[in-house]
């Protein structure tokens, strides 16, 4: 089904975390196929159809800016990054054009592909949230909601009003699950984050 929604989409890449558990510095600079994760994922958001990408840095922001080519993108620094992902979300949301949908992505998902981004944008319906979903390893046939996700311009203020701490948009999604469309992206990725050394070795 063709998407007739002509609203543009700003990609918001949340890349502020320190990656303390990995002991390798900021997750944004984790190497993947010879380049920093933050650079690869920002490139994929743009190539997938976002007309602009806002990258929200935090921990060791200067080192990340120096270690990755982010010149094509708008970079912002969240000085309150230790408070959790929510503060980065709000900075990215505020920076995006008020007339755009936003596509929210996490820097620690090396499986995020151009095709995943494109699939979400094509599938998005007005007034909805469109979320990548992945096969649950312990639930045959079931999908679990993940990232990235497209938040409709009409819903951005309502979502932002619920964002606190490290939860991001989770509170809104739990309150109004009927507004969320799950798009199966299991053929592109497991949807896993890189949170442990074991995951880093397996996914990077």
b/e for 122-147, b at 16 or more Cβ within 10 A? ebbeeebbbbbbbbeeeeeeebebbb
Cβ neighbours of residue 170 under 8 Å, at least 6 residues apart?
A: none
Tens of pLDDT, residues 112-150: 999 999 999 999 999 999 999 999 877 667 899 999 999
Tens of pLDDT, residues 145-161: 999 999 999 999 999 99
pLDDT at 1: 35
Measured CA to CA, the distance from residue 45 to residue 39 in angstroms comes to: 10
pLDDT at 7: 87
Answer whether 3's CB lies under 8 Å from 121's CB.
yes
How many angstroms separate the Cα of 17 from the Cα of each of 50, 61, 64, 82, 90? Answer: 23, 10, 11, 8, 15
Cβ neighbours of residue 162 under 8 Å, at least 6 residues apart?
A: 169, 171, 172, 175
Tens of pLDDT, residues 7-24: 899 999 999 988 766 656
**Average pLDDT of the chain to the nearest whole number:** 89
pLDDT at 200: 65
Classified as helix, coil or strand, 10 is strand
pTM above 0.85, yes or no: yes
Measured CA to CA, the distance from residue 144 to residue 147 in angstroms comes to: 10
Q: Is the pLDDT of residue 91 over 90?
A: yes
Answer whether 56's CB lies under 8 Å from 16's CB.
yes
Average pLDDT over every residue of 158-167: 88
């Amino acid at each position: 089904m063709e998407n007739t929604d002509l609203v543009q989409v700003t990609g918001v890449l949340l890349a502020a975390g320190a990656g303390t558990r990995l002991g390798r510095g900021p997750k944004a600079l984790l190497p993947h196929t010879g380049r920093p994760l933050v650079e690869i994922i920002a490139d994929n958001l743009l190539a997938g159809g976002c007309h602009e990408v806002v990258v929200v840095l935090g921990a060791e922001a200067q080192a990340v800016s120096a270690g990755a080519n982010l010149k094509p993108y708008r970079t912002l620094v969240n000085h309150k990054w230790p408070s959790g992902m929510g503060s980065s979300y709000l900075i990215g949301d505020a920076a995006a054009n008020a007339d755009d949908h936003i596509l929210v992505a996490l820097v620690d998902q090396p499986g995020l592909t151009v095709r995943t981004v494109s699939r979400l944008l094509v599938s998005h319906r007005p007034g909805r949230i469109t979320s990548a979903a992945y096969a649950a390893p312990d639930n045959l046939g079931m999908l679990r909601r993940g990232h990235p996700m497209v938040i409709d311009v009409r819903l951005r203020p309502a979502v932002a009003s619920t964002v606190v701490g490290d939860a991001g948009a989770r509170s809104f999604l739990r309150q109004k699950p009927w507004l969320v469309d799950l798009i199966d992206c299991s053929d592109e990725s497991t949807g896993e984050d890189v949170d442990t050394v074991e995951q880093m070795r397996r996914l990077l």
